[in-house]
Structure 1
Amino acid sequence: MSAEPRAPRPPSQARIAARSVGRSLAASAVSASTAIAGAGRRVREWASPVTGIVSLTGWFVLLASLIAFIGAALLGWIELVFLGATLLAALLVSVPFTFGRMQYRVQVALQPTRVVAGERAFGRLAVTNAGQKPSIPSRMELPVGAGLAEFVVPGLPAGAEHEELFAVPTSRRAVIVAGPAISVRGDQLGLLRRIVRWSEPVELFVHPVTARLKPSAAGLVRDLEGEITKTITDNDISFHALRAYQPGDPLRNVHWRTSARTGTLMVRQFEETRRSQLALLQCTERAHYASDDEFELGVSVLASLGVQVIRDATRVDILTEQLTLRTATPTALLDDTSRIDAASGAHDTLRTFVRERTKRLSPPSVAILVAGSLVPLAEFRSAETVFGPDTQTLAFRVEAGAASRIAKVAGTIVITVGSLADLAGLVGRVRP
């Protein structure tokens, strides 16, 4: 006969007490760590006016001095004492260089504030002594894009101004930020740096190079006033046919002459017309472009088409993976094209990109896609299926240095652009 299973024994009082003590200790440890972290944060905030002026080099010198003193105590080497004392003295000697208060009024200006890639742009840094006493010489630093400009401001009498001019590199399309201007007080070794911010950043828009297209270029807009669709409606301007009157039809659509002849009320029907609506999209996936120059060519094509469509007063939505570009004015559009960056892995395919970025838009009458030379032609055909039959699809495939040509893949017109200089002629030859 098999033994009956034993019922589990209830936990003893000792175990219950141990668990309670463990939970209490864990809660106490969490509370203690939170309190220590809060105290450490308050100490850092309290000490930040002092510790904040110590540069990375200064911290390295302080650490090396501490290691030298510890090594001297452990090894008994007097040389390490001298080394530690020398490093510590260098740090202490740097302290007086941080004293003093400056009263400056600083202005940073860029001229012009918008340029085309390759054009020259200049900046001006004006420092005025706004105090009542002469100022001592100081050093001013001004970040410009990825670089850093350094200027020495001499001693200035009260109310005097010092001006510095500098060139801004504009070889590539970008938004270049100049500023903020900061003054730096410290020693020549850079152990201590006391920084004061004097100005706000200013932006320089480096626009892409664009091609001038003809107004109402063929292929971009089929009908500025409205295009006729196959949808039948009771109110529009394109007459389609007559039908028998039904209760509720507006009397203004009654065709009285036909009604008198037939003895039956007849009303007009119309074909629906729609204002032209463009969707202009650039796929900025890095893997679709053979080089950075080819990517820049794609941005220039997008900007050239967008500027001309805006000038033609046609409604347009212009999009990339990350941006929805402003279309109020050509200048606003060009400012936004300066911010376009290459994307990585945003969408799996060109079709996915087009579907995701246009699903909240009104159905366009013309969809224009811009992509790189590494996109297979089948991808353009797949992207075409996102739109309805009333949408004409054009694809601009940029391939730097290639022979420019026009081909048709299924219902999509594919325009290969090898050079921006060819764009105007290619657009003029497109016939939807």
Structure 2
Amino acid sequence: MKRKLRQFGDWLERRWVQPAFAGWLCLGLSLFYLGSAANTMSGWLYAISGAALALLGIAAILPPRSLRRLSLERHPIDPVSSGESLTVMLEVHNPQRRPKLLLQLHDEIPPRLGTPPQRVIESLPGGETLRWIYQHPAAQRGIYHWDQVTLRTAAPLGLFWCRRSRQVPGKAIVYPQVLPLQRCPLIDGIGQEENPVFSAYERQVQPASEGLTRALRPYRFGDPMRMIHWRTSARYGELRVRELEVFQSGLDAVIALDTAAHWDAEDFEQGAIAAASLYFYATQIQLNVRLWTAKTGLVKGHRVVLETLAGASFGESETADPIGDRPTLWLTPNAATLENLTASSRWILWARSVPPGLSAGGLAINPDKDLQRQLQSLLK
């Protein structure tokens, strides 16, 4: 019963007006005086009830009028990584001459983002614009769409509440977290078996002939130690790292997230984090790497990859073209799919129990242990 009354009150507030507590009290007293006047035929009781009912009528008309002609505009929302805060900016403009008093704003964000934020505006003078900027934590990866901002007021008498929604589309992209990997044997060794250019590089990385080293640059955090040119570093007094032509022209690798499989929800979040972290590590060491999912196929580019992983979900229908014979790092919870990998590929498996007899060259993830440390560990 209470739920139905609440729904009816909400319907009244959105369609017309809903009496506040003071409004119900005033309405009850008006009816009481009207009934007493009918029984006693007292003119002063009729005057009191009539004045109270007129006041209620005016109080019911003014709140909807107060919300008219207010215009709202939303600024684009910059993407963030999970665990960071979204910065949302809304502008409320009052084109009329009269000020708008005592307004409540509710930004109707998706439930997955949390409780809708609200702002109280005491006064918005005529012809002016109010800018509302708020920070909202984004704990979960995803692409979020919403299109409503709710305006609510009981001004000027506080007897009736009125609520109206405005279409103000919003889109927020929350990227998966990118772990700062200092090394990753899975990526460092991918494609060595079937890539003669890469194997030649491994044999000549110490002497560094002219045909392999494209340029030297200052050391950046996360660069592998084997890429440091020690003689040049000693000459300049700072670490210098080789940029190698072989990575850009020789090795074409794929990081594939098995989104067609049925994952545990927490494991899939780890899989998205691992895919993003491995992609950025591979580009950092100048591998020609791309991301593959069952829905989007092969994609490339930091922003495109992050947006793809932000919108990825498990159980997708496999509509993309197959990967082919490229060296692949396969991320999956399904051990049966590992049998189809090429000899130059690697795998990462999320499973509560690892089946015996798995091929070498992969890594079984324990969800209870630190993911970053496991990605930097040696192959199984």
The alignment's TM-score, normalised by the length of structure 1, stands at 0.51
Equivalent in 319, 342, 353 of residue 293 of structure 2: 319
- 2:91 corresponds to which residue? 126
Cα deviation, 1:281-303, whole Å, max 9, x if unaligned, reads: 324645x43xx433322221122
Equivalent in 148, 152, 156 of residue 120 of structure 2: 152
- Are residues 1:339 and 2:324 paired? no
Deviation at 1:130, TM superposition (A): 3.4
Cα deviation, 1:55-103, whole Å, max 9, x if unaligned, reads: 7989xxxxxxxxxxxxxxxxxxxxxxxxxxxxxx989963443225644
CA distance in 2, matches of 1:368, 1:338: 19
- 2:170 corresponds to which residue? 201
Change (3 A) 1:386 1:335: same
Deviation at 1:325, TM superposition (A): 6.3
Contact 1:57/1:191, CA 8 A, preserved across alignment: yes
- Are residues 1:280 and 2:256 paired? yes
CA distance in 1, matches of 2:58, 2:71: 31
CA distance in 1, matches of 2:169, 2:363: 45
Contact 1:120/1:169, CA 8 A, preserved across alignment: yes
CA distance in 2, matches of 1:161, 1:56: 26
Equivalent in 81, 84, 90 of residue 116 of structure 1: 81
- The letter for the 2-side match of 1:278 is V
Unpaired segments of 5 or more residues in structure 1? Answer: 1-49, 59-88, 229-272, 347-352, 373-378
Cα deviation, 1:349-394, whole Å, max 9, x if unaligned, reads: xxxx8xx567x3352322322234xxxxxx53x424445xx55342
Change (3 A) 1:421 1:277: closer
Deviation at 1:201, TM superposition (A): 1.1
Partner-residue secondary structure (3-state), 2:188:
coil
- 1:397 corresponds to which residue? 349
Unpaired segments of 5 or more residues in structure 2? Answer: 1-10, 20-54, 200-248
Q: How does 1:329-368 map to 2 (within 5 A)?
A: 329-343=301-315, 360-361=321-322, 363-368=324-329
Change (3 A) 1:119 1:284: farther
Deviation at 1:120, TM superposition (A): 3.4
- 1:383 corresponds to which residue? 337
CA radius of gyration, larger in: 1
- The letter for the 1-side match of 2:364 is T
- The letter for the 2-side match of 1:97 is P
- The letter for the 1-side match of 2:278 is L
Partner-residue secondary structure (3-state), 1:148:
coil
- The letter for the 2-side match of 1:314 is N
- Are residues 1:175 and 2:175 paired? no
- 2:188 corresponds to which residue? 218
Partner-residue secondary structure (3-state), 2:15:
coil
The alignment's TM-score, normalised by the length of structure 2, stands at 0.56
- Are residues 1:161 and 2:135 paired? no
CA distance in 1, matches of 2:150, 2:101: 16
Deviation at 1:202, TM superposition (A): 3.3
- The letter for the 2-side match of 1:394 is R
- Are residues 1:97 and 2:97 paired? no
CA distance in 1, matches of 2:182, 2:260: 23
Contact 1:114/1:204, CA 8 A, preserved across alignment: yes
- Are residues 1:297 and 2:270 paired? yes
CA distance in 1, matches of 2:323, 2:83: 38
Change (3 A) 1:189 1:309: farther
- Are residues 1:417 and 2:353 paired? no
Deviation at 1:415, TM superposition (A): 0.4
Change (3 A) 1:210 1:130: farther
Change (3 A) 1:412 1:102: same
- 1:264 corresponds to which residue? none
Identity %, equivalent residues: 11
Partner-residue secondary structure (3-state), 1:335:
helix
CA distance in 2, matches of 1:97, 1:410: 69
CA distance in 1, matches of 2:371, 2:17: 48
- 2:330 corresponds to which residue? 369
- Which of 1 and 2 has higher RCO (CA within 8 Å, sep 6+)? 2
Contact 1:174/1:339, CA 8 A, preserved across alignment: yes
Contact 1:212/1:304, CA 8 A, preserved across alignment: yes
Q: Tell me the number of residue pairs that the alignment of Structure 1 and Structure 2 aligns.
A: 278
